[in-house]
Chains A and B, each alone.
Chain A
C-alpha cells in the first residue's frame, strides 16, 4: 500500500491522521518537523515513500521550504495541509510546488480521497503514444517530456495536466474541467490549483513564460494547448 510521509507538528493531529491512514492500509511515517521529514526522505532505506502530506506552519523550516526542497530533489507528490485558508498561504504553497492543498480541519475520507487522487496522477495515463509539438516531445508511454532534446522533469500533477491538455490540442478546457480531469475533485473545487499548476508548467516549458506558446489562456473560458 502507498507509503505516506506525514509532517505535522501538532501531536494530536499527527496521531489522528496517522490512525486514519493506517486504518486505510497506508504505511505512515509521521514526523513533527520539516527537518526530520527531509532527513527521512534522504535516507536510502526509506526510499519507498510515495507521497508527502506537509503542514504549512511548522517549527524550524516551514511547509513552503519543505515543499521547495522536496521539489528540488524529485517528483514526489505533495499535499499541503494548511491550518488557515488564507489565499496568500494557499497560493504560496501551490507556487512552492505543492500538487494539492487541504484546509484543516479535514475528515479521514477527504484526506484519503485527496491522497488517492494525487497518487493516480502519478500513475500511467491511458493513451500510450508520443507526440512532438515543435520541439516539445511528450512521451505518454515513458511519462517523460523533453524540449529540444533536453529532458524536462515534471511532478505528477503538472505532467498529468500537460498530458490532458496536449491530448486535444486547440480544445479549450475550463478550469473546472481541468480540476475534474487532473485533480479528480468531483466537488466544487478551487481554480487556484489549476492556475498555479499552469503557472509552474509555463515556467518550465515556455521560452517566454509571459507570452506562452504551448499553454494559452482563453480569457473568460480557460486554457488550451496551442495552436503552435
Chain B
C-alpha cells in the first residue's frame, strides 16, 4: 500500500510542480496563461472595462473642454467683431458706395487679424479679400442677420478646419450706447474667423490623454492578474487536491484561509475528503474482516477435515466388505470429504493471494519436463497431446506452474472435447503455454466470467469436481509471475484455447 502522510496540506503554488511529478507532468502546460482559461477571461474583461471607461472619460472630457475652448474663442471673436463694427459704423454713410464698403471691410478685417470680412448692401458685396471663397457665409447666417439686430454666429467646417462665421447688421448710430444698435442701415457685415488654433489646442489635449491610456490599460492588466491570482491560486490548489483525492490519496486536505466563498469551498472539500476517507476506511476494514473470516474459517475447517479424510479412507478401504448400501454411503462420504478438502485448500490459497501473503520459490527448470510431470502426476499423459520442444528453460516457481497447467488441462478435459493439446513455445524473454480442446468453445457470456471466483458456466454442473476457484487461482499464479492467462477469441474448428504468457525469468521476490 502506498504510504500516506498523516494530514498533508497542499503546499503553496509557488513551489512549482508537485512532488508527485509523474502524475502532474501532463498538467504542466496549464502553468502558461491560457486565454480561454479563467485567468485569461478575467484579464480580458478587466482590460476591456478599463479601456471602455478610459475612452468614455476621455471622450467626455474632450467634448467638454473643446466646447469650453471654442466658446471662449467664440466670445472673444464676437466681442472684437461687435466693437469693431460699432466703432467703424460711425464713419459710415448710408446709402453707401462700393469703395467705402470695401474700405470698411478691410478695416474690420485688419482688426480681426486678417480674417475674411464681407460687407453687403443691397446688391453690393465688398470683401476684404475678393479672391477668397465666400461660402463660409451660409444662407442661414444671412437669414439670421436679416432677422436679428445683434451679432449672429455659426460654426462651420471649411477645408477640414473649424471656422466661426459672424454676421451683424450695421446700425447708423447708437444713441442707447454700446450693445444697442440704432437704426438699421441696410448694410450687413460678415466675418469668417479661423478656430484652427483652438482646435489644435484641444487636439493636443486628446493626444496627451491618449498617451495616458496605455499605462492605464497596462495597470488594469496587472491589477487583473493580481486579482486572478488571489482567486485562482486557491482554486488551483483545490483542483490539485481533488486530483490527488481521486488517485486514492484520501488524507489530502487544503488550507482554509479567510472567510470568503473560496474558504467555504475549501472547507466543504475538506469535509468531503474526511467523509470519504472515513467511509473508505470502514469499507477496507470490513473487507479485511471478511477476508480474515474466510481465511479463519478455512483454517478451522482443516482440522475436522483432516480427521474426516483419514477416517473416511478407512471406510473406503473396507467398502468391499460392507453391504451395498453401506458401501455406497462410505464411498460417498469419502468422495465428498475429498471434494471439501480441495475446496478448503483452494479457499486458503485464494485468501493467501488476497492477503498478498504469497511468495515465489523460483528454480531453473526445463519446461517440457515440468509440463510432462504435471500430466503424469495426474494420469493425463494418455489423454493429452503434448507439443513440448526440448531445451526450453525458464526460471519459475515450479509448484505454481504446475497449478496453472493442471487447471488449464483439467478444465479442457472436463468441459471441452478431445483431443486436448498442450503447446509450449518460447520467444526471446517470454514463454507461452497454450491448452486447446476441440469442444464447442466458450459462449461469450461464459468467456467473460471464466476467471471469476465460483463461476460455474452451467448451473446444472454446479456440483462438478472443481471448486470453482481453479481458474481464479491459476490467473493469480500467472500474475504473481508477471504473466497473464488469455482466452483466445472464438474461431471456427477450434474449441477453447487458453494461453499462459509468462516471462522466462522471474525474480524470487513475491
Contact = CB atoms under 8 A, between A and B. Distances in A.
Interface of A: 10, 12-13, 15-17, 19-20, 23, 83-87, 104-109, 111, 174-176, 187-188, 190-192, 219-221
B361 A87 contact: yes
Interchain residue pairs A-B with the least CB separation, the first 8 = A220-B364, A12-B307, A105-B309, A188-B377, A16-B310, A104-B306, A107-B313, A108-B313
A132 to B, nearest CB: 33
A105 B309 CA distance: 6
Contacts of B317: 108
A174 B372 CA distance: 15
B402 interface: yes
Nearest to B348: A84
B373 A13 contact: no
Contacts of A104: 302-303, 305-306, 309
B299 interface: yes
A176 B314 CA distance: 31
Contacts of A221: 364
Interface residues of B, number: 33
Contacts of A107: 309-310, 313
Contacts of A20: 310, 313-314
Nearest to A220: B364
Contacts of B324: none
B398 interface: yes
20 contacts: A10-B303, A10-B306, A12-B304, A12-B307, A15-B307, A16-B310, A16-B311, A20-B313, A23-B314, A83-B299, A84-B348, A85-B348, A87-B361, A104-B303, A104-B305, A105-B308, A108-B313, A188-B374, A191-B363, A220-B393
Given A105-B305, A176-B373, A188-B377, A84 B299 contact: yes
Which of the listed residues B299, B302, B313, B369 has the most CB atoms from chain A within 10 Å of its own CB?
B313
B449 interface: no
Contacts of B363: 175, 191
B226 interface: no
B55 to A, nearest CB: 83
Contact of B310 (A84, A85, A108, A175): A108
Contacts of A87: 359, 361
Contacts of B399: 190
Which of the listed residues A13, A20, A187 has the most CB atoms from chain B within 10 Å of its own CB?
A13
Contacts of B308: 105
B70 interface: no
Interface string B337-376: 1000100010010001000010101011000010001101
A107 B398 CA distance: 24
Interface string B196-237: 000000000000000000000000000000000000000000
Contact of A83 (B306, B352, B393): B306
A187 B377 contact: yes
A84 B197 CA distance: 110
Given A86-B357, A105-B302, A109-B313, 15 more contacts: A13-B303, A13-B307, A15-B307, A16-B310, A16-B314, A20-B313, A23-B314, A84-B348, A104-B306, A105-B306, A108-B314, A111-B310, A187-B377, A188-B376, A219-B364
A8 to B, nearest CB: 9
A63 B488 CA distance: 48
A19 B377 contact: no
A55 to B, nearest CB: 10
Which of the listed residues A17, A83, A85, A188 has the most CB atoms from chain B within 10 Å of its own CB?
A188
Contacts of B398: 191
A23 B316 CA distance: 13
Contacts of B376: 188
Contacts of B337: 105
Contacts of A190: 399
B341 A105 contact: yes
Nearest to B334: A107
Given A176-B373, A188-B373, A191-B398, A17 B359 contact: no
